[in-house]
């Protein structure tokens, strides 16, 4: 397994860490870790970021960087290493600030929806187009911001995207709507997404009507 994937996998299951510890935990040379961290940092949409710095125990004047995952990094890790899904509860807990579905993971678990949400997320990530090279999410090419990607993933996994693409809502979406009535933040997100879908549909219908009217006038 590539060192970049090992780093993503480790940071998905653990809090932020420095390169020396990553080298020890992953049993890779410091030079290998340093080069891999550089790759992950310099991607168009970085997979890791510096979370904080601490003084070096050997040289108090020096500062050591501690690295954590971005949302792009979490998703890339799940795509590149399928075994991470076995630790999805831990990942959701550590990275609950990155996705609404992670923040509401316990909420979904209590209501018996966790496994369905997990399956929906696995299906969504499996559908993301990949190139031959690893570390190449679609988001790398179109450069989604963290917030844009967050909304895309949450919307797709919760089933709102099905409405936007005019597909028949799934049974899971119906169950999520019922559960969302008990959670203000989740409810507001879904309402906002549905309103956007409604506006898109209305604009599409308007353009269709204008096109039909134009075609009818051309017949005369």
Residue 132 confidence (pLDDT): 36
Residue 137 confidence (pLDDT): 47
17 three-class SS: strand
Residue 95 confidence (pLDDT): 97
How far is residue 116's CA from residue 205's CA, in Å, rounded to a whole number?
Answer: 33
Q: For each of the domains in the chain, give its residue range(s) and CATH number, in order of start.
A: 1-69 (1.10.10.10)
How far is residue 162's CA from residue 155's CA, in Å, rounded to a whole number?
Answer: 9
66 three-class SS: strand
Token pair 């219908």: residue: 205
Closest CA to 67 of 89, 31, 39, 96: 39
Q: Give me 24's structure tokens.
A: 């020890």
Within 8 A by CB and 6+ apart from 71, the residues are 95, 98, 99, 146, 149, 150, 153
Residue 105 confidence (pLDDT): 97
Residue 125 confidence (pLDDT): 87
Give the phi and the psi of residue 43 in degrees, each rounded to 5.
Answer: -60, 155
Residue 119 confidence (pLDDT): 94
Q: What is the pTM of this model?
A: 0.82
Residue 148 confidence (pLDDT): 87
How far is residue 169's CA from residue 143's CA, in Å, rounded to a whole number?
Answer: 29
Helix axes 146-158, 114-127, angle to 10 degrees: 120
Q: What is the pLDDT of residues 170-217, one digit of tens each?
A: 788 889 999 999 999 999 999 988 888 788 778 888 888 888 888 887
Residue 143 confidence (pLDDT): 67
Which ranges of the chain have pLDDT less than 50? Answer: 129-142
SS3 content of the chain, % helix, strand, coil (to 5): 65, 5, 25
């Amino acid at each position: 397994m590539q060192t970049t994937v090992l780093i993503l996998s480790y940071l998905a299951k653990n809090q932020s860490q420095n390169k020396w510890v990553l080298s020890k935990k992953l049993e890779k040379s410091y030079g290998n870790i340093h080069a891999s961290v550089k790759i992950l940092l310099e991607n168009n949409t970085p997979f890791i970021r510096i979370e904080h710095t601490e003084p070096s125990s050997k040289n108090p004047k020096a500062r050591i960087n501690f690295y954590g995952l971005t949302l792009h990094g979490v998703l890339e890790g799940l795509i590149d290493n399928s075994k991470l899904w076995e630790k999805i509860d831990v990942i959701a807990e550590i990275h609950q600030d990155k996705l609404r579905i992670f923040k509401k993971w316990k909420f979904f678990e209590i209501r018996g929806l966790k496994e369905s949400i997990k399956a929906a997320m696995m299906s969504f990530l499996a559908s993301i187009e990949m190139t031959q090279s690893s570390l190449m999410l679609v988001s790398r090419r179109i450069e989604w911001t963290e917030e844009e990607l967050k909304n895309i993933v949450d919307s797709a996994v919760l089933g709102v995207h099905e409405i936007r693409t005019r597909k028949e809502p799934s049974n899971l979406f119906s169950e999520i709507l019922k559960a969302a009535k008990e959670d203000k933040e989740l409810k507001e997100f879904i309402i906002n997404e549905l309103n956007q879908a409604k506006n898109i549909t209305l604009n599409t219908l308007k353009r269709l009507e204008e096109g039909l009217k134009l075609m009818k006038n051309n017949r005369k």
